Structure 1
Amino acid sequence: MNGTFADVLLLLAIAVVLVWGFRRVKLPAILAYLVAGIIAGPDVTAWIKDPNEYHFVAELGVVLLLFSLGLEFSLPKMIAMRRLVFGLGAGEVVICTLLFAGLAYVLMGDWTAAMVIGGTLALSSTAVVIKQLGESSQLTTRKGQATVSVLLFQDIAVVPMLIIIPLLAASSAEVSIWESLGIALLKGAGVVVVLMAIGKWVLPHIFREIARLRTDELFVLATLLVALVAGGLTHLFGLSMALGAFLAGMMLGESKYKHQLEADIRPFRDILMGLFFITVGMQLDLDVFWQNLHWILLGVLLIGAIKMLVVRLLAGAMGEREEDSWGAGLMLFQMGEFGFVLVALALTYNLLSQDVASMLVGVGVLGMAVTPMAIQRCRQLVAPLVRGKSRAQEADIKQPDVSEPKQVLVLGFGRVGQTISRFLTNEGIDHLAIDHDTKRVQEAVAGGAKVYFGDAARRDILRAVHADKVELIIISFAEDHKALEVLKAIREINDHAEIIVRSRDDVRLQEMMESGATQVVPDTLEASLMLVSQVLSRSGVPIRRILSRLDQARRSHYGEMHGFYPGETTDMDPEKIDRLQFLHAVQLTDNAYACGKELKELALDDIAVQVKSVRRGDEEFSEVHGDFTLCKGDVVLLAGGPRAIEASESYLLNG
């Protein structure tokens, strides 16, 4: 028992360090878990004597992953994107599976192993690709939508693959694959009917009762129980546990408890999936990996090239632009996390040798490692492939006259940008908008709007529209990091223009001001001001006083509005936490260090904290200065970052 405990402790320690290190260099956590498994495995430190001891717990991770996948499975979304999902997605999975299986059969001569390899390599990494698309602001682009559609179908295709692998093992004995598949389909249909009936008539009542009790741990336990019972039921019928979990997730995916279930299951899923990927890493034979490194590198390139070509031809046949077709293919070049699941399952049923499994894991690890870089540089990488036609297609979009600088530039022609443009048009103000969404620009130009097609973060595009001479520029992007990138690009060529930047909230307000913004307009704070103006107006406050107060708030860069009281539902994302501004009330006890001291003596500004007010009994001091003396019993309202507030509270109370 002590040995097992020490093993788990070492695994956790190395996983924590590696995940931290990998995330610092913006690599996916999956790779960190795989490397942790390699280090703990028999070829490096041999801490874990028998990786099979952890097999059951790791399998639970796969079950919870499929349960989460079922929760996210949306039939309306599938129907809305059916052309790309069932055209491009299905085509990619079927064609790539057959091509890779054919190549594997030629090399190995074993058709069951070849089918497993074909299915494994046809899949791409949903977790890594979706995250990178979001971070690079490409999720809503045409190539981003095509990529998501293929990933959506691949996620669905995983379920039959998980069913087929045990059948391939069974068929290699005495029963034919078609007979096994027919029996499995009958069993599957029966299980689906039973689970759907339970999901429709039983589970909603159970979860409604649990929700009434408002007990978080009971909700979590019930969620885990549903996922595991559904998995156990399919396992009882000789099918994959993951299939049952997926069906359970699907049943609950349409319920009003979907988001709560997702939030509850995520910590368990992530930890157990981490353990699963560690066990995959343990199975990597490093001798085989190093001896065949040249073949693995060649495999990554060949697999990527085949996937790119297949997606390019399919997307092109469906009328997608050449640049978007190549871009979607490039984003899908890697082997995905479900590939590791299939490799592990095939190893369990002895369908693959240890050497082949190690090579497949190596292909997956290398592919996923370079995926973030490939997606970030997607346009530059595909540019040589489409240079001739891409320019011609861009030329098909009728560009407005940009021979002379305009009075106003609107960067981003989404809903906010279009609203600004309409008002400018109504006032007869000469302006130009820039947007990189092909369809939107074509629609807008056809409707008579002055929109220039191009990426506003590129300096050549900015110079083409005379951004270096324009006096007023509005940045209306929904993504703050994109707005910051564009803001910095403009300030490099134009240091005199007034730049008004739209922001989601005040998290990056200071950073934007320091980067050269004249005014930042946060959506949440402006919405608050509009609500305040309505409330004050209906309460009888004169309109002149209301306008004066709104103007004062904007001139002070929303100074009085920064900071809010956090609650249990506040997003405590580690990447955002340092930029948030919280409010926190500290009551000075009888022996508090700050009692009898003036604010200037305490110098709280050095800790980056502001004293908003002090309440003494029934009296409140809303404006306190350096000579204000604190007394015991005072309640000091602090504003600042979470860590700064913690430090200030400790300082006020203990010195």
Structure 2
Amino acid sequence: MAAESAGLGLGQAVALLAAGVVAVPLFRKAGLGSVLGYLAAGLAIGPFGIGVVDDPVAILHVAELGVVLFLFLIGLEMRPSRLWAMRGAIFGLGVVQVLTCGALLSGVALLGGLPPAAAMIGAMGFVLSSTAVIMQMLEERGEIATPGGQRAVAVLLLEDLAIVPLLALVAVLASLAGTATGEQRPAWLAIGLGLGSIALLVAAGRWLLNPMFRILAQSGAREVMTAAALLVVLGAALFLQWGGLSMAMGAFLAGVLLSESTFRHQLEADVEPFRGILLGLFFLSVGMSLDLAVVAAEWRLVAAGVIAFMLVKAIGIYGVARLFGADHREAWKRAALFAQGGEFAFVLYTAALTAGIFDARTGAAMAAIVILSMALTPLLAMAAERMLPPPEAESLDGVEAPVNLAGRVLIIGFGRFAQLVSQPLLLRGCDVSLIDPDVEMIQAAGQFGFKVYYGDGTRLDVLRASGAETAEAILVCVDKPEVTDRIVALCKSEFPLAKLYVRAFDRGHVLRLVQAGVDYQIRETLESALVFSRATLVGLGVEESEADELVADVRRRDEQRLEEQIVGGITAGRSFIRGNMETPQPTPLARPSREARPLSVETADLLDRAAAREGA
């Protein structure tokens, strides 16, 4: 029996992975985004699909860790000073949006026939938008660092905080209605525990975390550092959950507290692989949780609820956004993104069901409405984007947007790669225009004498304002291959006269860029790796002239391998790679001009065998 259970568990794991691997690329290829792909895959293999997985709730509890890890990584990007600068948006815009939409949706629920207490809780649960869906979509579009993206993050943070008073509200309403079951915390105690847990977590972050990571780093145990990173994230999440807050808020605060730590990048690298897998699993489990039997039995109620709740909430969000100074485009996009319910609704509805505010029918119908709204969000956001007029350039915190720039060279993306690329051009006196969507980087670059404009290179209007139409050369130096590909396609289509020089990520990316017809591409690590290898050879006693010849030989091999790959695909040209296994190895394309000095007996033996093969 144990073996059978283990086999079933392994089969479910394979099914989950297969569903995600098949569905997500297809949906992204169709422009529908990965979130909808995961939801559809979950529905297909769940208990209401083909039934490969019969307990989505158990998987959901594990998969919620993906949201937790995601919020931790977002927190790492939010330094306390930056978070403090957003306090107006969090406690101003966020509070007004939650209260306005809550009041509007409560009215809708009352008109739908729900009792007052159930209507209020149902509405407030739907007000809490899905942090996972919205953040994933913002990340895929590269909009988290934009002004609109930052305001969206502020609203999401307030909604996460709102779960505390809302859970307390469930207890109060249950007590007033006489439906309370079991022991209920008084409202003042719930709020006090929440604030106290935040204070304790902040204290631990300020005085305990950095010393702990410093001690662990000195031990030299790499796996212990990874375990410690997960311990901090999950421990903070669990601690705030004990205090009545959400796990996501605990993870976010842990990230903020470590955002200025010297171990920040190490923590990010340790947590990232777990975040991606678990977040995908979360969306799969949400898709599996959609009870098609409830939808079929209550289809009129569910359909009316989805349409009414999403429409009214979108109207409320749009109005609040315009009230706080957002233009039509930003308000429209925010309304489309936030029009759904989210994962915190399940927490609130479960509490309402336990307290007797919801009956089983209401709870199942409300959960179905939330899940369907989450599934419709990517489609709604896509439709909203297509209905919008061309965007206007944005600016934030005094950072200028490009307007009628006319540099001879346009550099898109000004990270560490582009900063070095710009130096010879500036020394030669070339007129260079620089754009980047990262506000913090722009402000930091300004301290070193660089004038960088705020702009997203994937937007045609930004490229025009940045002078792409008149630039002789456009240098694409962003660090995400998918973003690079979009910029390249746009530039080739709209600015065919400009020479296109592009930073490539790896060989596969190089092949895509060659097929796209760029004028020049280079893998970001190629030259630095060759220089590094040459220094190693010289350090091992190889004469500099010979080291230069070996590096030149590798460069020639790489070029010839790339030529074969362009024709035969990524697996072609293997004969130009020298491996370290005991198999026939390629010989140099050009013999060194002087006799090589062997590094070891093994190296001499390899050279003798290579010479024998060449003679043959």
The bucket for the TM-score relative to the shorter chain is 0.5 to 0.7
Instruction: Give the C-alpha shift of residue 373 in structure 1.
Output: 4.3
2: CA distance, partners of 1:72 / 1:626 = 56
After superposition, the Cα gap between the structure-2 partners of 1:524 and 1:365, relative to the gap in structure 1 and judged at 3 Å, is same
2: CA distance, partners of 1:170 / 1:350 = 10
| Counterpart amino acid of residue 619 in structure 1 | A
Q: Determine helix, strand or coil for the equivalent of 1:400.
A: coil
2:412/2:474 contact within 8 Å kept: no
Give CA-to-partner distance per residue, 1:452-502, whole Å, 9 cap, x none. 9896664997699684x8653333444432332232333346666532113
After superposition, the Cα gap between the structure-2 partners of 1:371 and 1:620, relative to the gap in structure 1 and judged at 3 Å, is farther
1:513 equivalenced with 2:509 (yes/no): no
1:290 equivalenced with 2:296 (yes/no): no
> Which residue does 1:618 correspond to in 2?
603
1: CA distance, partners of 2:520 / 2:24 = 33
| Counterpart amino acid of residue 521 in structure 2 | V
2: CA distance, partners of 1:623 / 1:101 = 84
> Which residue does 1:156 correspond to in 2?
161
1:599/1:627 contact within 8 Å kept: no
> Which residue does 1:22 correspond to in 2?
23
2: CA distance, partners of 1:199 / 1:559 = 50
1: CA distance, partners of 2:248 / 2:403 = 52
| Counterpart amino acid of residue 412 in structure 2 | G
- Structure 1 regions of 5+ residues with no counterpart? 391-395, 563-576, 589-593, 601-613, 632-655
Q: Determine helix, strand or coil for the equivalent of 1:343.
A: helix
TM-score normalized with structure 1 length? 0.64
2: CA distance, partners of 1:456 / 1:189 = 42
Give CA-to-partner distance per residue, 1:369-392, whole Å, 9 cap, x none. 3433444565433329x99x99xx
Q: Determine helix, strand or coil for the equivalent of 2:139.
A: helix
The one of the two structures with greater contact order (alpha-carbon pairs below 8 A, sep at least 6) is 2
> Which residue does 1:367 correspond to in 2?
373
Instruction: Give the C-alpha shift of residue 539 in structure 1.
Output: 12
1:587 equivalenced with 2:581 (yes/no): yes
| Counterpart amino acid of residue 166 in structure 2 | M
1:323 is aligned, of 323, 329, 335, to: 329
Q: Determine helix, strand or coil for the equivalent of 1:369.
A: helix
After superposition, the Cα gap between the structure-2 partners of 1:249 and 1:167, relative to the gap in structure 1 and judged at 3 Å, is farther
| Counterpart amino acid of residue 410 in structure 1 | L
1: CA distance, partners of 2:494 / 2:220 = 60
1:68/1:246 contact within 8 Å kept: no
1:432/1:450 contact within 8 Å kept: yes
Give CA-to-partner distance per residue, 1:529-559, whole Å, 9 cap, x none. 677899999999999x899989969986975
Matches within 5 A, 1:544-555: none
Matches within 5 A, 1:100-119: 100-119=105-124
Matches within 5 A, 1:235-250: 240=244, 243=246, 247=250, 250=253
Give CA-to-partner distance per residue, 1:99-130, whole Å, 9 cap, x none. 22233234335232223222222122222222
1: CA distance, partners of 2:34 / 2:610 = 48
Instruction: Give the C-alpha shift of residue 180 in structure 1.
Output: 2.2
1:40/1:282 contact within 8 Å kept: no
Q: Determine helix, strand or coil for the equivalent of 2:518.
A: coil
1:86 is aligned, of 91, 101, 107, to: 91
After superposition, the Cα gap between the structure-2 partners of 1:266 and 1:361, relative to the gap in structure 1 and judged at 3 Å, is same
Matches within 5 A, 1:50-449: 59=61, 62=64, 69=71, 73=75, 76=80, 77-173=82-178, 180-188=186-194, 212=219, 214=221, 216=223, 220=227, 227=234, 231=238, 240=244, 243=246, 247=250, 250=253, 254=257, 259=268, 262=271, 266=275, 273=282, 277=286, 280-282=289-291, 285-292=294-301, 294-299=303-308, 301-316=310-325, 320-375=326-381, 379-383=385-389, 399-400=403-404, 408-410=408-410, 412=412, 414=414, 427=428, 429=430
| Counterpart amino acid of residue 486 in structure 2 | E
1: CA distance, partners of 2:321 / 2:360 = 34
TM-score normalized with structure 2 length? 0.68
- Structure 2 regions of 5+ residues with no counterpart? 395-399, 563-569, 588-598
- Matched positions, count: 570
Instruction: Give the C-alpha shift of residue 181 in structure 1.
Output: 0.5
Q: Determine helix, strand or coil for the equivalent of 1:508.
A: helix
| Counterpart amino acid of residue 290 in structure 1 | W
After superposition, the Cα gap between the structure-2 partners of 1:418 and 1:36, relative to the gap in structure 1 and judged at 3 Å, is closer
After superposition, the Cα gap between the structure-2 partners of 1:10 and 1:278, relative to the gap in structure 1 and judged at 3 Å, is farther
Give CA-to-partner distance per residue, 1:332-382, whole Å, 9 cap, x none. 222223233333443344432344334433433333334334445654333
Q: Determine helix, strand or coil for the equivalent of 1:473.
A: strand
Q: Determine helix, strand or coil for the equivalent of 1:138.
A: coil
Instruction: Give the C-alpha shift of residue 302 in structure 1.
Output: 0.9
After superposition, the Cα gap between the structure-2 partners of 1:411 and 1:40, relative to the gap in structure 1 and judged at 3 Å, is closer
| Counterpart amino acid of residue 295 in structure 1 | A
| Counterpart amino acid of residue 412 in structure 1 | I
After superposition, the Cα gap between the structure-2 partners of 1:107 and 1:292, relative to the gap in structure 1 and judged at 3 Å, is closer
Q: Determine helix, strand or coil for the equivalent of 1:306.
A: helix
Instruction: Give the C-alpha shift of residue 516 in structure 1.
Output: 1.2
Q: Determine helix, strand or coil for the equivalent of 1:140.
A: coil
> Which residue does 2:567 correspond to in 1?
none
